[in-house]
């Protein structure tokens, strides 16, 4: 990367993305429970970020100057920037929750109260609750300097207490667990006000109960704390030994790893904070002040009391009827390629692809790459059934998919027990391609069908993640899909070449480079050059440098990037031909769609790969050309809707990061809602 060109560190940019989630929480046009949900998403995202990314920076910072000299950034400086940015966001989080959400809940008959507001009957309820349900789980511990260092469970809530002995008046510190891992975080209290609902947080019940836990002490102060631990497995670059067993051992240690963050109430006294830092051996880089409550991802479970009007009306997934209602799904795919866009489309046709393959006596082989797997999966059950029926079933399961390792290993074991050929992770790389094939006997010949997608084969996330995929019998795509499985199953890559698909570790980067160069040449010839990139993340310095140079040669570049965007659009003399937008709305934008203008005859691609260094250089990914004209037209229409969004789109330009794109002269366009209407219209046209 040219040091003279602007570049935003990936983790700084990620915090900008997570702030876009927080913006949704303060969007007053959204129903109240949707805003509360976005607070939960923001918090869940941040927890994972600290367990992985911040933990990594902290480890780099502690390695010493010699190691840090090999980096192109200072981990300590990045840590300082990250913590300052998060601290600012946390202050805004508290303001949104206490000054916006809580008053709105009250207006709708839901009262979130503190212990000082309890009436006599509610206090009696809490005393019974403490004795009957809470007492076995609170785990009180007196802290005595460095002599007693209790182990804090990863992500668990605790109260840190300042006590004084009633007899000696000696100062004492202690901790008490808030057992939200055993009990509901939100406890409804008895009331005499009809339709009104009164809720108290479990944290505040513990605060109220502390005098019963420490009867010989006066309670001076109480503050909530939470410790998160390093979640990285540190195995990606190992090439020897049993990788599966190494991952098993590492997973067992994940929740006892070193501290990556102490979250504490920002009202905590300096004296108590210093004491906790000493007891738990923390540095200033391990600290993050928050508000009164932590683990705010629990807002996912906030009781709704049947008030459906406080949620958005559901968008009923649209049936892809030619596939869902066909008597033979493979004959239907054989007639033409089919495009699917869950969650706007129902995921049923993808599930049926596997279930019909299991039941069809003419199907001989089923092969699939699984990166993330639902805990209850009809797709996996279909593979099990197919194997029991004697079909040859092969599954490549990526067990290095962070935080899904356990689920993936468990499914792998289930598949192996019924005779599925299970292949696990390759050392040093990840397999992130979203591809499955079915081989079927037709007229004494083998016919291959493929499903190629931007999203995982995960029935759960298919309801939330916006992805695109195609069902195809096109031999140009299916033949090369078979080559991918040959490599994954044999680990042999000698002589494997791809002409149509771009495949990570093989030809992906060269293919993208050639497509970009065509746009450059067209721009230089005056015939126009334009690239549209819809990605989750854009971080690779080499690719960013290429895009800057490409734009400077006259190529217009449209970026639609949901998450990390290390490229700086709209900077005079550098990237004025690059426009960047990001869309955060009710669905998680997860599709990767790339369009090259190609002198007026556009080339369209869908891809599993983001343009991050790891995706382009250390992963098996797929980059799929679209050959069917009606699917090209659909992709163009979807991109046009997103580029015209003036409700949920934010600027990525260097002067206005995260400002909403507004234009009062335009028709209001909320692209996700318009996408749903567009898909609905297209499916109705098929029926007619």
- CA atoms of 180 and 306, how far apart (whole Å): 23
Tens of pLDDT, residues 331-340: 999 999 999 9
pLDDT score, position 401: 63
Burial class of residue 174 in the structure, from the number of CB atoms within 10 Å of its CB (0-12 exposed, 13-18 middle, 19+ buried): buried
Q: Is 336 found in the same domain as 244?
A: no
More reliable by pLDDT, 412 or 361: 361
- pLDDT reading at 517 higher than 80: yes
* CB neighbour list of residue 652: distance below 8 Å, 6 or more residues apart: 559, 561, 565, 569, 580, 581, 582
Which pLDDT band holds residue 235 (cuts at 50, 70, 90)? Answer: very low
- Residue 196: CA count within 13 A, CB half-sphere: 11
Helix, strand and coil percent figures for the chain, each rounded to 5 = 40, 20, 35
Residue 206 is assigned to a structural domain of this protein: yes
3-state secondary structure of 627: coil
Q: What is the mean pLDDT of residues 309-314?
A: 94
Residue 4 is assigned to a structural domain of this protein: no
Query: Token pair 């079927």 is at which residue?
Result: 440
- CA atoms of 410 and 430, how far apart (whole Å): 19
- CA atoms of 411 and 401, how far apart (whole Å): 13
pLDDT score, position 155: 84
Task: Answer with the one of 310, 341, 366 that is the final residue of a domain.
Answer: 310
- Residue 298: CA count within 13 A, CB half-sphere: 19
Which pLDDT band holds residue 519 (cuts at 50, 70, 90)? Answer: very high
Pairing of strands 593-596, 603-607: antiparallel
More reliable by pLDDT, 433 or 72: 433
Tens of pLDDT, residues 145-194: 666 677 888 888 999 999 998 989 899 999 999 999 899 999 999 987 77
3-state secondary structure of 104: helix
DSSP codes, 353-404:
HHHHHHH-TTEEEEEEEESS--SS-HHHHHHHHHHHTT-EEEEEE-TTSTT-
- The alpha carbon torsion through 338, 344, 348, 351 (nearest 10 deg) reads 70
Q: What are phi and psi of 491, to 5 degrees?
A: 65, 10
Query: Which residue range(s) make up the domain with 676?
Result: 502-687
Q: Are 325 and 398 in contact (CB under 8 A)?
A: no
> What is the CATH number for 633?
3.30.870.10
Pairing of strands 622-625, 603-607: antiparallel
- pLDDT reading at 85 higher than 50: yes
Average pLDDT across the chain, whole number: 91
Q: Is 486 found in the same domain as 338?
A: yes
Helices 508-524 and 541-552 pack at an angle, to 10 degrees, of 10
- CA atoms of 212 and 267, how far apart (whole Å): 24
pLDDT score, position 7: 93
Tens of pLDDT, residues 5-23: 899 999 999 999 999 999 9
Q: Is 225 found in the same domain as 84?
A: yes
Tens of pLDDT, residues 551-576: 999 999 999 999 999 999 999 999 99
Q: Are 295 and 321 in contact (CB under 8 A)?
A: no
* CB neighbour list of residue 395: distance below 8 Å, 6 or more residues apart: 367, 368, 369, 370, 383, 412, 415, 420, 421, 422, 423
- pLDDT reading at 273 higher than 70: yes
Which residues share a beta bridge with 463? none
Beta strands in 190-308 (DSSP E): 197-201, 217-229, 259-265, 287-290
Q: Are 51 and 262 in contact (CB under 8 A)?
A: no
- CA atoms of 382 and 389, how far apart (whole Å): 10
- CA atoms of 349 and 321, how far apart (whole Å): 8
> What is the CATH number for 183?
3.30.1840.10
- The total of other beta-carbon atoms located within 10 Å of residue 223's CB is 20
Q: Are 236 and 398 in contact (CB under 8 A)?
A: no
- pLDDT reading at 239 higher than 50: no
Residue 609 is assigned to a structural domain of this protein: yes
pLDDT score, position 55: 79
- Residue 47: CA count within 13 A, CB half-sphere: 18
- pLDDT reading at 530 higher than 60: yes
Q: Are 610 and 616 in contact (CB under 8 A)?
A: no
Closest CA to 190 of 127, 240, 132, 248: 127
Q: Are 484 and 435 in contact (CB under 8 A)?
A: yes
The residue length of the chain stands at 688
- The total of other beta-carbon atoms located within 10 Å of residue 114's CB is 13
Q: Is 236 found in the same domain as 144?
A: yes
- pLDDT reading at 644 higher than 70: yes
Q: Is 261 found in the same domain as 352?
A: no
DSSP at 62 = H
Structure tokens at 135: 């007492």
Beta strands in 236-359 (DSSP E): 259-265, 287-290, 338-340
Residue 26 is assigned to a structural domain of this protein: no
Residue 3 is assigned to a structural domain of this protein: no
Tens of pLDDT, residues 391-442: 999 999 988 767 667 778 888 899 999 999 999 888 888 999 999 999 999 9
Q: Is 511 found in the same domain as 460?
A: no
Task: Answer with the one of 276, 310, 344 that is the final residue of a domain.
Answer: 310
The H or E element containing residue 304 is none
Q: Are 448 and 357 in contact (CB under 8 A)?
A: no
The most confident of 112-121, 244-253, 255-264, 632-641, by mean pLDDT: 632-641
- The total of other beta-carbon atoms located within 10 Å of residue 103's CB is 9
- CA angle 586-671-664, nearest 5°? 115
DSSP codes, 549-595:
HHHHTT-EEEEEESS-B-S-TT-TTTTTTEEEEEE-SSSEE---EEE
Q: Is 486 found in the same domain as 515?
A: no
pTM (global) more than 0.75:
yes
pLDDT score, position 20: 97
Which pLDDT band holds residue 280 (cuts at 50, 70, 90)? Answer: confident
DSSP at 668 = P
Percent of the chain with pLDDT over 70: 92
Cis (ω within 30 of 0) for the bond into 343?
yes
Structure tokens at 235: 């195995």
- pLDDT reading at 2 higher than 60: yes
Q: Are 86 and 46 in contact (CB under 8 A)?
A: yes
Residue 1 is assigned to a structural domain of this protein: no
Active site members: 432
* CB neighbour list of residue 90: distance below 8 Å, 6 or more residues apart: 266, 288, 289, 290, 291
Q: Is 539 found in the same domain as 402?
A: no
More reliable by pLDDT, 98 or 57: 98
Q: What is the mean pLDDT of residues 117-145?
A: 89
More reliable by pLDDT, 122 or 151: 122
Q: What is the mean pLDDT of residues 283-309?
A: 91
Q: Are 201 and 126 in contact (CB under 8 A)?
A: no
* CB neighbour list of residue 681: distance below 8 Å, 6 or more residues apart: none
Which pLDDT band holds residue 231 (cuts at 50, 70, 90)? Answer: low
- pLDDT reading at 253 higher than 80: no
Q: Is 534 found in the same domain as 477?
A: no
Tens of pLDDT, residues 611-627: 999 999 999 999 999 99
Which residues share a beta bridge with 676? none
Which pLDDT band holds residue 467 (cuts at 50, 70, 90)? Answer: very high
Q: Are 473 and 448 in contact (CB under 8 A)?
A: yes
Residue 2 is assigned to a structural domain of this protein: no
Sheet order of strands, 157-165 included: 141-143, 171-178, 157-165, 217-229, 259-265, 287-290
pLDDT score, position 245: 63
pLDDT score, position 68: 52
- CA atoms of 274 and 283, how far apart (whole Å): 10
Q: Is 530 found in the same domain as 415?
A: no
Q: Is 663 found in the same domain as 567?
A: yes
Count the domains in the chain: 3
Residue 458 is assigned to a structural domain of this protein: yes
Q: Is 526 found in the same domain as 428?
A: no
Task: Answer with the one of 264, 286, 310 that is the final residue of a domain.
Answer: 310
pLDDT score, position 237: 45
The H or E element containing residue 305 is none
* CB neighbour list of residue 579: distance below 8 Å, 6 or more residues apart: 557, 558, 559, 569, 570, 653
Query: Token pair 């019974």 is at which residue?
Result: 128
Q: What is the Cα gyration radius of the chain?
A: 27
More reliable by pLDDT, 400 or 467: 467
């Amino acid at each position: 990367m040219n040091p003279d060109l602007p570049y935003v560190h990936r983790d700084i940019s990620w915090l900008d993305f997570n702030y876009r989630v927080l913006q949704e929480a303060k969007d007053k046009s959204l129903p109240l429970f949707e805003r509360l949900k976005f607070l939960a998403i923001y918090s869940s995202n941040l927890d994972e970020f600290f367990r992985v990314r911040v933990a990594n920076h902290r480890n780099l910072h502690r390695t010493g100057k010699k190691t840090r000299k090999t980096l192109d950034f200072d981990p300590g400086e990045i840590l300082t920037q990250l913590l300052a940015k998060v601290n600012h966001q946390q202050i805004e989080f508290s303001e949104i929750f206490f000054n916006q959400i809580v008053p709105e809940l009250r207006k709708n008959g839901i009262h979130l109260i503190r212990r000082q507001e309890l009436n006599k009957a509610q206090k009696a309820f809490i005393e019974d609750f403490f004795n009957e349900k809470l007492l076995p789980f609170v785990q009180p511990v007196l802290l005595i300097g460095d002599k007693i260092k209790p182990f804090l469970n990863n992500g668990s809530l605790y109260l840190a207490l300042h006590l004084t002995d009633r007899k000696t008046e000696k100062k004492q510190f202690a901790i008490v667990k808030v057992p939200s891992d055993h009990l509901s975080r939100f406890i409804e209290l008895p009331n005499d006000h009809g339709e009104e609902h009164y809720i108290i947080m479990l944290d505040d019940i513990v605060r109220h109960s502390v005098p019963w836990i420490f009867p010989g002490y006066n309670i001076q102060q109480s503050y909530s704390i939470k410790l998160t631990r390093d979640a990285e497995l540190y195995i990606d670059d190992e090439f020897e030994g049993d990788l599966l067993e190494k991952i098993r051992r590492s997973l067992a240690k994940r929740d006892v790893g070193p501290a990556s963050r102490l979250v504490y109430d920002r009202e905590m006294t300096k004296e108590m904070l210093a004491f906790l830092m000493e007891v738990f051996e923390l540095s200033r880089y391990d600290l993050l002040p928050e508000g009164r409550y932590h683990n705010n991802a629990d807002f996912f479970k906030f009781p709704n009391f049947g008030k459906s009007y406080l949620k958005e009306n559901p968008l009923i997934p649209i049936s892809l009827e030619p596939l869902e209602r066909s008597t033979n799904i493979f004959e239907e795919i054989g007639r033409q390629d089919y495009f699917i866009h869950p969650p706007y489309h129902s995921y049923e046709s993808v599930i049926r692809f596997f279930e019909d393959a299991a039941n069809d006596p003419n199907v001989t082989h089923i092969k699939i790459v699984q990166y993330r797997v639902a805990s209850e999966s009809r797709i996996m059950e279909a593979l099990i059934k197919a194997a029991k029926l004697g079909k040859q079933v092969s599954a490549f399961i990526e067990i290095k998919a962070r935080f899904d390792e356990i689920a993936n290993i468990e499914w792998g074991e289930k598949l192996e027990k019924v005779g599925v050929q299970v292949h696990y992770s390759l050392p040093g790389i990840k397999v992130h391609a979203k591809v499955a094939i079915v081989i079927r006997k037709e007229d004494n010949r083998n016919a291959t069908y493929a499903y190629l997608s931007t999203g995982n084969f995960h029935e759960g996330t298919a309801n939330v993640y916006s992805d695109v995929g195609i069902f195809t019998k096109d031999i140009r795509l299916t033949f090369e899909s078979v080559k991918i499985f040959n490599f994954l199953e044999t680990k042999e890559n000698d002589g494997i070449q791809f002409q149509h698909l771009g495949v990570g570790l093989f030809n992906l980067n060269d293919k993208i480079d050639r497509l970009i160069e065509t746009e450059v040449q067209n721009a230089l010839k005056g015939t126009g050059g334009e690239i549209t990139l819809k990605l989750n993340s854009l971080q690779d310095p080499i690719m960013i440098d290429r895009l800057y140079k490409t734009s400077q040669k006259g190529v217009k570049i449209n970026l639609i990037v949901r998450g990390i965007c290390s490229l700086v659009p709209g900077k005079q003399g550098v990237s004025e031909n690059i426009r960047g937008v990001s869309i955060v709305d009710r669905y998680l934008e997860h599709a990767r769609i790339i369009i090259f203008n190609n002198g007026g005859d556009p080339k369209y691609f869908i891809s599993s790969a983001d343009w991050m260094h790891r995706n382009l250089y250390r992963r098996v990914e797929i980059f799929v050309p679209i050959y069917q004209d009606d699917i090209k037209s659909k992709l163009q229409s979807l991109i046009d809707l997103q580029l015209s969004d003036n409700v949920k789109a934010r600027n990525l330009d260097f002067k206005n990061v995260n400002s909403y794109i507004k234009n009062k002269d335009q028709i209001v366009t909320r692209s996700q809602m318009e996408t749903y209407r567009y898909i609905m219209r297209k499916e109705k046209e098929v029926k007619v």
